[in-house]
Amino acid sequence: MRVAFIQNFFEELTGPLILCELLERQGHRVKFFLPDRGWTRKLKAFSPEMVAMSVCTGEHPGMLETASWVKKFINPAPLVVMGGPHPTFFPEVIEHPCVDAICRGEGENAFPAFAASINGKGPAVDVDGFWVKREGRIYKNPPADLVEDLDQIPIPSRKNLFKDYPFIQKLPFRKMITGRGCPYNCSYCYNRALKDILKGKGRYLRRRSVTHVVDEAAYLKQTFGTKFIDFNDDIFTVDPDWILEFSDQYASRVKIPFCCNVRVDRLNEQGAKALARAGCRVVKFGLESGDEHFRHTVLNKSTTDDDIRRCAKILHAAGIKIQTYNMLGLPGETLQQAMKTVRLNQEIKPYYAWCSLAQPYPGTAMAKQFAQAPEQVKDQVEHCPASWFDTSIAPLEDRERLINLHKFFALLVRFPKLEPLVMKLVELPENGLFRAIYQAVYGLHMKAMVKAGWPRVLSMYLKLRKQY
């Protein structure tokens, strides 16, 4: 069977890459299609029998338009399957006339079984992990069991993607994920809701073995000349013993710089030194809000200001650069409260202060916090923007000021003396110049972090540009 994976962004998406490997092992022919010039012509020439899309909430309207195009212009019309976060949390997307099936939850067990079930009459309607539409009826199955031993999941197959999009292979960095799940329940995060959906399907918090992870990193270095690895786990340091073993193996076998995400109360001095020894160049952590009360009550994140200061201190001492994650536009937040976030960042001196506009995704506790207040945002899927960086759907008193402050956030953290000017600029209407300034600062950050030249940085930057 010919299977086309369609995605919106010019980057590696781990989930589809793993599914590509699994489907090829079954004998299917798999190709990736990204939105470059002529991609629709190439898709028609491939004449797929199945079109698969990994869809996030916010980008779903555009992906549904793509599904409609597929059904209209490819003959015979292929089966259209959606997976990823959006159909997992909002399975009613299957009601769209151009969607034939959705995969809910993890796809490593479900997707190969679904593909194997397809015959002349279409797919089976009783595959765990799938909702299937046939003759107007929707067959709803429970999520598939989780793969508890992550070492059994193959290394993501990048060769097909790189063959058709060689400029992605030329980027100096690769993304890796070493585990799944998170032990925490922050109000803005998907993990809380996903745990409920997957309850009873196996252990939620899982980790690959150190050897399996280092094998992949070594493979990326040797095969693709990778210069930098971004470990994209929610919390890379969730297991201190794992980190110590990883650091020893990685230092001896791979020896290329990397970055990772930590939680400030899950990293000690020993762990920071081990990461530095292994080659960690940047550690990223969620500061989120400089208002500790907001962090605890609104975000349900128990980290304290002192936790943040302590973590920053040990990372600075270890010679590791810091990138913070921050949000503006939290429920009830004012411009004055947002400035607390700026000032706590200024105090701990991160290399880069990454900032997003809080998006109350439907189904999260944060969305319910907004909906409970008078005249607050409705808990509706169609309101979600595709980008975290452009605008906010939150009806806050200082909404426009916070959106403008977001564009200058990283600059203001790095250069505190800009505050009088920025405070005047945030009073102006939203405009493209402010967005361009934000993008330029982010581009400089990426260039410095991976030590890449401008052509490569511009390629990496395509995703951010796409979101605008």
Rounded alpha-carbon distances, angstroms, from residue 464 to 9, 161, 175, 201, 455: 9, 20, 16, 35, 15
pLDDT for the residue 463: 46
Mean pLDDT of the chain: 90
pLDDT at 58 over 50: yes
pLDDT at 456 over 60: no
pLDDT at 234 over 50: yes
Average pLDDT for 187-213? 95
Q: For a pLDDT cut of 90, what percent of the chain falls above it?
A: 74
Biggest CA pair distance of the chain: 68
The alpha helices in 187-334, defined as continuous H runs, are 191-197, 210-224, 240-253, 269-278, 292-297, 305-318
Average pLDDT for 317-334? 94
Among the residue ranges 61-70, 216-225, 288-297, 444-453, the one predicted with the least confidence is 444-453
How does pLDDT run across 395-406, given as a tens digit for each residue? 678 889 999 999
Residue with structure tokens 């991976």? 450
Distance separating alpha carbons of residues 321 and 215, to the nearest angstrom: 26
Confidence of residue 464 (pLDDT cuts 50, 70, 90): very low
Average pLDDT for 147-167? 93
pLDDT for the residue 458: 53
pLDDT for the residue 451: 59
Residue 157 in tokens: 């197959």
Higher pLDDT pick, 468 / 112: 112
Domains of the chain: 2-140 (3.40.50), 170-467 (3.20.20.70)
pLDDT for the residue 120: 78
Confidence of residue 449 (pLDDT cuts 50, 70, 90): low
pLDDT at 40 over 80: yes
pLDDT at 454 over 50: no
Average pLDDT for 205-232? 97
pTM, entire model: 0.90
CB 364 within 8 A of CB 193: yes
CB 185 within 8 A of CB 191: yes
pLDDT at 385 over 50: yes
CB 122 within 8 A of CB 79: yes
Strand residue runs (E) in 85-232: 101-103, 130-134, 137-140, 173-176, 179-180, 206-207, 228-231
Confidence of residue 203 (pLDDT cuts 50, 70, 90): very high
How does pLDDT run across 250-308, given as a tens digit for each residue? 999 999 999 999 999 999 999 999 999 999 999 999 999 999 999 999 999 999 999 99
What region does 157 belong to: left with phi over 0, alpha with psi -120 to 50, or beta? beta
Confidence of residue 442 (pLDDT cuts 50, 70, 90): confident
pLDDT at 468 over 90: no
pLDDT for the residue 395: 64
Tell me the range of 188-202, 251-265, 364-378, 444-458 where mean pLDDT is highest: 251-265
pLDDT at 378 over 90: no
Distance separating alpha carbons of residues 353 and 346, to the nearest angstrom: 9
pLDDT at 390 over 70: no
pLDDT for the residue 228: 95
Higher pLDDT pick, 141 / 461: 141
How does pLDDT run across 92-139, given as a tens digit for each residue? 999 999 999 999 999 999 999 999 999 877 899 999 999 999 999 999
Distance separating alpha carbons of residues 82 and 91, to the nearest angstrom: 10
How does pLDDT run across 74-93, given as a tens digit for each residue? 999 999 999 999 999 999 99
Residue with structure tokens 């105090």? 347
